[in-house]
Structure 1
Amino acid sequence: MAFYNSRETLVDDMLSALLQTTELEHLATSEGTAVVIRAGHEPGTDPGDDQVAVISGGGSGHEPAHVGFIGEGMLTAAVPGSLFASPPVSAVLEAIRSVTGPAGCLLIIKNYTGDRLNFGLAAERARQEGYAVETVLVSDDVALPEIDQPRGLAGTVLVHKTAGHLAASGASLEEVASGARRVAQSLSTIGLSLRAARLPGASTDTSRGAELGLGIHNEPGAQPVEVQGASDAVAAVLSAVAPETIDEGSGLVVLLNDLGGCSPQEGLVLAHEVIRQLGQQRISRFIGPVRAMSSLDMHGFSVTLAPARPDLLEAVDAPSSAPAWVPAVALTPPRRRSGGGQSPETPDESRSEGPGEDSDGNSVWQVSTDGRLEAAADNACAALIAAQEELDELDRVAGDADAGTTFSAGAASVSALLQDGGLGFADPAAGLARMARALETGMGGSSGVLLAILATAASRALAEGSSGAEALGAGIASMQHHGGASEGDRTMLDALIPAHRVLASGGGLTEAADAAAQGARGTAELEAKAGRAAYVPGYKARDTQDAGAVAIAKLFRALSDSLEG
């Protein structure tokens, strides 16, 4: 299923939304076909006060092309056909009549038989009627180098931009056509997709896997490919498009186009790989990731390369009011700045009981008198690391199954500090503050932040003279304040709070560990009211303990075994 109403109403529904949200106008034609023009455009009657009209079009299903590129500095009008089908001659001819003045009109045509014939016949009829009309054919596909008629792909948008810029600058029809042809002939494009597009109302074709060099009308690719991630995919595309044959010494203009089904995250990773593999220094202008010419929801992308000649750079740098145009950028190295300092009141390395120096002058943390606290902390870390798979499986009911991975990462970061001499508990307050930062940066997720909050608040309480149980209570209170959860909400607190009650009443760690375990078991009967599990229907988590509470219970058990066992 996809969010269409029907194949028959698809084009009308899309145009309805566009006409209500952009500066575009629908041209009423004699046959009721779709023509969209720039709002307020009127062809001039004085040759000295007129611009060349630029028209393009083709089958729908490639949005935002072509209607999305209507605007100052790009197209004057666009003629959308039905899904993956060229518009009729009559619609193209009426578009020419409506927007063309004495300066004439340029038709930009993708190299498909239907588009060539229908736009070509419309051009001939318009010339019969006295209009000055030129055409430019775009054939930027390099997937099948042996064929005489390569297809027109996403590079067409750069031809739109070039022609529109020249027209807006007052160039003659001959100059606009010549500039557009020069850019069109310099373009090279190829696409790669993990699956074919899904046509409205049709079942998904599961027989086709990843393909290189496929067409935007769901034509099969030039060859099947096996790719493992973005790096492989981009390497395959760049190998086929052969950037070394395009760069003329002035760099490249690069267009990274989403064929319709890539997530924003995939688009950025693909952009990273294109830049990395081409080399930032070779890229004069970069456009993308952007949906310029899609193929419904095809899960793929295309890369267009062109030599960075002055005329193309001038065109892509010029502004345009077209709603779908994304400005080209000149790449810069990643911008970084150093972080700020820390508060001198933080009970950490600034305290005299914190780190000292070894015989070689290296900073080391002072351990507790007998090292038992450090050993207990390391055992607790080992217990959480060993429980990764168990906790991940418990967390599967919340949909992401990563609680064990998260706790394991936090435990590993603390353990690494202990092993490297970067953490000690000669001063428990300073040690907890140091551990809080390790959890914050090494654990990730909301659990990592919550435990860092607990450790930070407990550290401050210890520094102000509180007992261990009082400091734990202060940490729990801070967790509740910032996290918004309470006991009974099916979270870590359902193990932490029972353990704290035991310690606050004078009980030992073994009793606290028993209470934590009992609290964790009780979460199997609770409905989640906080955290991500709160967004999961209650019946899915029934009879399953909360992973975070189980992790806390394991932590207390490891501490009690080390310190009281």
Structure 2
Amino acid sequence: MKRFYNDADAVVDELLAAEAHLRSVRLSTHASGMRIMVRADWCRNEQGADKVAVLSGGGAGHEPAHAGFVGEGMLTGAVSGSIFASPSVEAVLAGIREVCGTAGCLLIVKNYTGDRLNFGLAAERARLEGLKVEMVIVSDDIALDDVTQPRGIAGTVAVHKVAGYYATQGHSLSEVARLAEDAAGRLMSMGMALEGAALPGQTREERRPELGLGIHNETGAREVSPDNARDALNLVLSPLLEAMDARHGKRVPLIALLNNLGCCSSQEMSTLTFDLLDQLGPERLPMLIGPAPMMTSLDMHGFSITLLPFEDDLATALSAPSTAPGWPGIRHVTAPAWFEPDTRDEQRALYDNAPQNDAMTACLNKVLVAIGESREALDELDARTGDGDAGSSLKEGVDAIQKALRHQRLPADNWPALLAGIGELLARDMGGSSGVLLSILFTASAAELANNDDWAHALTQGANRMQTYGGAQPGDRTMMDALWPAIRALEQGKGLEGAARAAREGAEYTATLANAGAGRSSYVPADRLEGVIDPGAEAIARAFEALV
């Protein structure tokens, strides 16, 4: 299975039924063989008596078009065919009958032969029945130069919105049709895709990137080879801008609709949006619709752009509210408001000519030498339970601290400042999660020690912070299994010697734990852990032994 479909022939019925479960709409029965969705709040004899109904549709596979645009302020109803196939005349006629009141019904149709013919014949038959029906055909695709009937693509969605707005305002059928047709004549669209679409139950056809693919997988204007997203966007945008400028005889402000053809990720669409805004800026492009999937082509990996002139009537109609779930709304484009992040470090722990105390420096160096000389032993332990770099990572931290001491950048005349400086160095220079965890221990302990010279209390607070952020608990086979016993010994007044013994016992205890609850060892089979001391716990034990 390559895609999440059930029966390929049932895809359209299932997606419409899913929508009907979640929205205030009415859906034609499955037994009718038709696929018609209508606003649940719409009654042709009530709302339809003084407001024009707006009906659209076409082949499925373009979701959210067309059912996704059924809602107040957009479409009154939508008629769907099978994948990439126009609905039947009978289905369109039934849709007209369901929504058309005395105010009339406007059909909005994409410029494809099947849609024009089926919707057109349905309109004629409806008129024979005495219904007032008008039809607007959207032909916004400018990709193909040599066609007399340009295709209707994503720009159709903007026409839905304009027609829905004027219908909501109570304009007559002839006026809504005129305004919708005028809007259709002012917009233009083009798309490109890296890959074509794959119909349900079928394998995607291998195709090169093409400019101007149709939304039914039709061949594009030409094959292209963009190097990046900016190149791809310019291939689409440049001819659109040229055509728009030629139509108006000058550069005009624009409204753009950026449409995902189905398979582009959010990141890709955001990149294309950046390139579009970067090229046009808020002065040329004050309003954007999307980026969003609006007129898709199943899972086509591509996008399309629709441009409209930024004129008051269009901006008003497109900005009006709508309950249609597929309509992404408009977004006003502004210049980014930048700020300079505050990087002041008023509590900076490292600085030049930091004061030194020989006794404290000697004490610290004892621990540093002991850990540095344990590199190979700790790496060997870690190789049996992890990735073999525990000792090397700790040596990076040791080297950074020793360098700071040599250059007198680490204050060593009071313990809170010294611990804070060590925390800063470990966070910056020691790799892996252990560096961050130990930095948390030293930083949090320093803060507590500055207010209370009780070492046991300070280390308790530091270890609690480690546990909060790191997630490891005693018994999880980590450095915590040596650290907590040492802290408890200090709390009980057993001094450094008692703390060192407790840390050693805690480290030895990890060799009896067959299951690790945190860290890389948690991914290692139990038989490989048995009898092996956790390297983090071993390092803690050696540090306390060096202090003694």
TM-score per shorter chain, which class? 0.7 to 0.9
The aligned runs of 1:227-266 (5 Å cut-off) are: 227=226, 229-242=228-241, 245-246=244-245, 250-266=252-268
Does 258-267 or 170-179 show the bigger shift?
Answer: 258-267
Q: Aligned partner of 2:161: which letter?
A: K
Does 332-341 or 195-204 show the bigger shift?
Answer: 332-341
* Alpha-carbon distance in structure 2 between the residues aligned to 1:257 and 1:66: 14
Q: Deviations over 1:279-318 (max 9, x none)?
A: 1222221122222122222333222221111111011111
**What SS class does the counterpart of residue 9 from structure 1 fall into?**
helix
Matched with 1:312 is 314
Does 59-68 or 34-43 show the bigger shift?
Answer: 34-43
Number of corresponding residues: 520
Distance 1:50 1:210, change over 3 A: same
Matched with 1:182 is 182
Q: Deviations over 1:27-74 (max 9, x none)?
A: 459953111111131224899x51222111011111111011111211
Matched with 2:80 is 80
* Alpha-carbon distance in structure 2 between the residues aligned to 1:258 and 1:323: 16
Q: Aligned partner of 1:233: which letter?
A: A
Distance 1:486 1:201, change over 3 A: same
Distance 1:172 1:472, change over 3 A: same
**What SS class does the counterpart of residue 192 from structure 2 fall into?**
strand
1:543, CA displacement in angstroms?
A: 6.4
* Alpha-carbon distance in structure 1 between the residues aligned to 2:482 and 2:209: 48
* Alpha-carbon distance in structure 2 between the residues aligned to 1:286 and 1:217: 25
Cα RMSD for the two superposed structures: 5.3
The aligned runs of 1:2-401 (5 Å cut-off) are: 2-27=3-28, 31-44=32-45, 49-205=49-205, 207-227=206-226, 229-242=228-241, 245-246=244-245, 250-335=252-337, 349-350=346-347, 366=354, 368=356
The aligned runs of 1:463-478 (5 Å cut-off) are: 463-464=450-451, 474-478=461-465
1:185, CA displacement in angstroms?
A: 2.0
Percent identity for Structure 1 against Structure 2: 45
**What SS class does the counterpart of residue 330 from structure 2 fall into?**
coil
* Alpha-carbon distance in structure 2 between the residues aligned to 1:211 and 1:120: 32
| Contact 1:355–1:365 (8 Å) recurs in 2 | no
Larger radius of gyration: 2
1:237, CA displacement in angstroms?
A: 3.1
Distance 1:554 1:29, change over 3 A: closer
Q: Deviations over 1:373-402 (max 9, x none)?
A: 89x99xx99xx9xxxxxx9xx999xxxxxx
Distance 1:64 1:516, change over 3 A: farther
**What SS class does the counterpart of residue 324 from structure 1 fall into?**
coil
Q: Aligned partner of 1:315: which letter?
A: A
| Contact 1:423–1:435 (8 Å) recurs in 2 | no
**What SS class does the counterpart of residue 236 from structure 1 fall into?**
helix
Does 265-274 or 84-93 show the bigger shift?
Answer: 265-274
Q: Aligned partner of 1:148: which letter?
A: T
Q: Pick from 420, 424, 445: which aligns with 2:410?
A: 424
* Alpha-carbon distance in structure 2 between the residues aligned to 1:447 and 1:236: 49
Give unpaired runs (5+ residues) of structure 2.
Answer: 376-381
Q: Deviations over 1:74-96 (max 9, x none)?
A: 11111011111111111111111
Q: Deviations over 1:92-151 (max 9, x none)?
A: 111112212232222111122211221122122222333332222212223323332222
1:455, CA displacement in angstroms?
A: 3.7
What is the TM-score normalised by the length of structure 1? 0.73
Distance 1:220 1:132, change over 3 A: same
Matched with 2:378 is none
Give unpaired runs (5+ residues) of structure 1.
Answer: 343-347, 357-363, 385-390, 397-402
Q: Aligned partner of 1:109: which letter?
A: V
| Contact 2:440–2:462 (8 Å) recurs in 1 | yes
